[in-house]
Amino acid sequence: MIQSKEDYKYYLDQDRKALRIGKNNFLGRIVSCISPNLIWKFQKTLRTLEYYENCNNRGLSKLYYLYLKYKYKNISVKLGFSIPPNVFGPGLAIVHYGTIVINGNAKIGANCRMHACVNIGASGGEDEAPTLGDNVYIAPGAKIYGNITIASNTAIGANAVVNKSFDKENTVLAGIPAKVIGDVNIKQIIKHLNN
């Protein structure tokens, strides 16, 4: 969770690397004006909102915080994302536009790579939501719900329904309900981990 200006800069840098976006030079600024990357814009707004929410900024920054909440809501609706602040660790990579719904009580570690139509939520009116480790890949359409934990270095297959905990690392989960179907080297899927 972002607790300082240094954390904020670190999270932004890790998200930029995860999305494979180059450093913001002059040419990059021109390209982003002509053809903006809306997912990167969303993630920058998310991290800025987290910074202002967690660091108790006061005075004029309260007005800016309200503006950020408004901006965040608008871009979330435009892209189809329902992602509350303070859920994801650094290195988040949302791969495509499309419906993504995340419960505010979910906790997801660093370097999560996620596709469209993913749902991570509570089960049966409970407050508890899933906790995912670091370096988790979530394929399109995966549903993860309940008071469960998923180990680090896990790949979750397309349309999998994960409703129980999996503690073993370096595995692939797939099916309805999900089960371990093999082993994985997560660095082959989440490429920026190799840098």
Q: What is the CATH number of the domain that holds 113?
A: 2.160.10.10
> Per-residue b/e over 141-163, b at no fewer than 16 CB within 10 Å?
bbbbbbebebbebbbbbeebbbe
The reported pTM is: 0.90
Beta bridge partners of residue 118, listed in sequence order: 100
Among 80, 108, 139, identify where a domain stops. Answer: 80
Residue 75 contacts residue 42 (beta carbons within 8 Å) = yes
- Distance, in Å, from the CA atom of 194 to the CA atom of 166, rounded to the nearest integer, reads 25
Find the domain containing 168 and state its range: 93-194
The predicted structure's pLDDT at residue 37: 85
Which strand (E) or helix (H) includes residue 46? helix 38-54
Residue 88 belongs to a domain? no
Considering the domain architecture, whether residues 185 and 158 belong to the same structural domain is answered as yes
**In the predicted model, what is the mean pLDDT of residues 125-154?**
95
pLDDT tens for each residue of 103-116: 999 999 999 999 99
**CA nearest 162: which of 147, 150, 177?**
177
